[in-house]
Amino acid sequence: MTTARPQYQPVGRCIYCGSKLNLSNEHIIPYALDGLDVLPKSSCRRCSEVTSKIEGKLTQQMWGQFRAALNSKSRTKKWTPETPHKVSVIQEGVRRTEIVPTRNVPAVLIMPVLPMPAIITGKQVTDYTTKNFVINTHQLEDWQKQHVLVGAFDLEIFCRSLAKIAHAYLCAQIGVDNFKPVLPPAILGEIGALHFVGSPPEDAAPLPSGEDVRHVMAVVDLSGDVSYVGVLMRLFSNFGAPEFLVVGGNRN
C-alpha cells in the first residue's frame, strides 16, 4: 500500500536556532526509524550535527538491536538475516555478550512509563520505570528465553528525541510563525527535555494503532491554567507501544 506523503513548504530558517545559513532538509521522524516526511530547508548545519547525534544514540545505541530485528532502514548499514549481531544477556547475575545472527535477534523495544509532562502538572519526575516490548519471542532460542535481555535505556536521549520529532512536526503542521516554541533549548541540550514529555491526559482521544500503523502523531490543544499546543505521539504503534504527549509551546 502506498500513501501520498504530505509536501511541506520550505521553512527558510533553522527551526531550532533561527539561523538562515546552510539550511538542509529535516526528517520529522528519523529516516533510521523509517520516517519519510521531510521539512525542507529547516535545519542549519550546527543544529543538524546536534540532532544527528541524538538520533544516533536513539536508533543505534538504544534501539539498534530492535531495528536490526526489524530490518529497519539505515543509510550506513544493511542487515541480512545472517549478519552477526551482539546481544547482551544476564545469566546468573553476570552480564555477558552473545553473538547471534540477525534472524535470531530478539526485538526488544524499551519505553519509559511516565506521568503527564511536568510543564503541565508542575511536578518534576524523580523516578520512572521502563516497559519492554518483546516482539519476536518465537524467534528466541532457548538460552535467550531463560535470561533477562538487557537494553541500554537513556531517558534524556529518549525525551530529546521525542522533543525533536514533536517540534519538527508542529513546525510542519501548524507553521513556525503560529506558535511560541518551548522545545528548541531542550533539543539542543541547554535544558532538560523530560520537563515537556510524558503521558497524555486520561481524557485524550487515543491515537489509532494496528498492525499496519507504525508511527502515529497528531497535534493537540491542551487547555488549563495555561493553554499549550502539543503532539500526541505513538512510535511503533503496531507493536502496542504506548502513547506520549510532548508539549511544544503556546499558539500565537
Q: Which residues bind Zn ion (CB under 5 A)?
A: 14, 16-17, 19, 44, 47
Closest approach of Cβ 8 to Zn ion, in Å? Answer: 18
CB-wise, 18 or 206, nearer to Zn ion? 18
CB-wise, 38 or 108, nearer to Zn ion? 38
Closest approach of Cβ 19 to Zn ion, in Å? Answer: 5
Q: DSSP 3-state assignment of 217?
A: strand
- DSSP readout, 42-108? EE-HHHHHHHHHHHHIIIIIITHHHHHHHT---SS----TT-EEEEEEEETTEEEEEEEEGGG---E
CB-wise, 47 or 197, nearer to Zn ion? 47
Closest approach of Cβ 44 to Zn ion, in Å? Answer: 3
Enter the C-alpha cell of residue 151: 537494553
Closest approach of Cβ 90 to Zn ion, in Å? Answer: 41
Main-chain dihedrals φ then ψ at residue 174, nearest 5 degrees: -110, -10
Main-chain dihedrals φ then ψ at residue 147, nearest 5 degrees: -120, 160
CB-wise, 47 or 186, nearer to Zn ion? 47
Q: Quote the strand ranges of 124-214, DSSP E.
A: 129-134, 148-149, 179-181, 197-198
CB-wise, 43 or 59, nearer to Zn ion? 43
- What is the number of alpha carbons within 13 Å of residue 204 lying toward its C-beta? 22
